[in-house]
Amino acid sequence: MKMQLRSFTDTLAWNLFLLTLGSVVYVIGYNGIAVHHDFVPGALYGLAVVGNNVAPELSLPRWYVLLNVPMFVLAWKGVSRRFFFLNLYCMLTTALLTAYVQCDFGIRADIYSAIAAGAFMGAGAGLILRTYGGGGGLDVLAVILNRKYGLRIGVFYFLVNALVMLTALNRFSPDIIVASLVMLFISSVVTEYVLSLFNQRKAVRILTRKGEEIAHNITHVRQQHATVFPGAGGYSGINVDMVLSITDRLRLRSLEEDVFAIDPDAIIVVENTFSVIGGPLGLRKEY
């Protein structure tokens, strides 16, 4: 059942669905809230907003597409075809939605609007990032720069957003810039939260003298994966094992009960994981 679910989430249809839903949520956050307060979003969409403010005769969707064109031209041979075309689909979908989805949530206070817009746009970005594609040309460029020069993707987007805000300083009031920064901060927090909702896995490390028995229980009874690392107590020098396993929060409590039933003196260390990639636990995103 888990293999079937993972296979479904890797299909083109599921990825297109998430890209479409993420684009809709993102554009609703901008067109429904941010645009009514002249907030400046981040990344290439933010540069398009600044460009539209400079030359309004060219609509925002057209600015967005035009700024993406050189990115995709550079990226044609730099990333996988799947990643390229999914990004292209997301970019075109976002541009079309920006042009035709018009709404107003009626939130008038700038601070409330910044929070609400950031929440919507962050949720949309989080959904997009859960796919095997991305949010447009900048994602592609970020991957290429990371591959060729080792520039971290987070640093790249920080530099881009700094450039967006510096460019916007000449066109927007300081109040708008500050509110836009609040929106970007909320958006980044919500993006991380949405990503974590799709990944409820826990890394469990078990320190025990009965490593083989616990590993057998995990692999044969619970049908999960486990790795045993032999070790020794730092003070006592007694031989102990560290059993590493990945589980989810729904099965964590039952795992704890099984471990203590086998070894009441075991020590369990549980850590939240942001991402589990590789092997049967999580397929790697191809760029």
| Same domain assignment for residues 31 and 108 | yes
Q: Are 183 and 34 in contact (CB under 8 A)?
A: yes
The answer as to whether 282 is a domain residue is no
Instruction: Say if residue 192 is in the same domain as residue 207.
Output: no
User: Does residue 285 lie within any of the structural domains?
Assistant: no
Q: Is 136 helix (H, G, I), strand (E, B) or coil?
A: coil
For position 237, what pLDDT does the model report? 84
Residues 239 and 156 in one domain: no
Distance, in Å, from the CA atom of 246 to the CA atom of 226, rounded to the nearest integer, reads: 7
Asked if residue 107 is part of any domain, the answer here is: yes
Token pair of 201, please?
């896995």
Domain boundary among 197, 219, 238: 197
Q: How many helices (H) and strands (E) does the chain have?
A: 11, 4
- Asked if residue 46 lies in contact with residue 183, where contact means CB atoms within 8 angstroms, the answer is no
Same domain, 96 and 136: yes
10-residue stretch averages of pLDDT, the chain, 287 residues long: 55 90 95 94 90 90 91 78 87 94 92 95 89 77 77 77 86 90 90 74 91 92 90 87 87 90 93 68 57
CA distances from 260 to 214, 222, 253, 266 (A): 9, 15, 11, 7
CA 102 to chain centre: 26
Instruction: Record the pTM.
Output: 0.75
Q: Is 224 part of a structural domain of the chain?
A: yes
The angle subtended at Cα 13 by Cα 77 and Cα 124, nearest 5°, is 80
Does 110 fall in a domain? yes
For 44-82, how does the pLDDT look when each residue is reduced to its tens digit (9 = 90+)? 899 999 999 889 888 999 999 999 998 888 777 777 788
The per-residue pLDDT for range 116-129, each reduced to its tens digit, is 999 999 999 889 88
Q: Which of 179, 197, 215 is the last residue of a domain?
A: 197
184 in any annotated domain: yes
Q: Are residues 84 and 96 in the same domain?
A: yes
120 in a structural domain = yes
Same domain, 176 and 123: yes
- Sign of the torsion angle spanned by Cα atoms 177, 90, 142, 284: positive
Q: What is residue 131's DSSP assignment?
A: S
Whether 244 and 187 map to the same domain: the answer is no
Domain CATH number, residue 216: 3.30.70.120
Q: Mark whether 165 and 255 lie in a shared domain.
A: no
For residues 243 and 166, membership in a common domain is answered with no
Distances (CA, A) of 91 to 82, 153, 201, 215: 14, 19, 31, 47
pLDDT for position 5: 47
Distance separating alpha carbons of residues 190 and 197, to the nearest angstrom: 10
Q: Can you spell out the DSSP letters for 85-121?
A: HHHHHHHHHHHHHHHH--------SHHHHHHHHHHHH
Q: What is the pLDDT of residue 79?
A: 75
The residues near 158 (Cβ < 8 Å, ≥ 6 apart) are none
Q: What is the pLDDT of residue 150?
A: 77
Whole-number Å distance between alpha carbons of 110 and 180: 9
pLDDT of residue 277: 65
Count up the domains in the chain and report the number.
2
Q: Are residues 168 and 104 in the same domain?
A: yes
- Domain shared by 134 and 240, yes or no: no
102 in the same domain as 180: yes
- Supply the angle between the helices 81-100 and 60-75 in degrees, to the nearest 10: 170
Domain of residue 239: give its range: 201-272
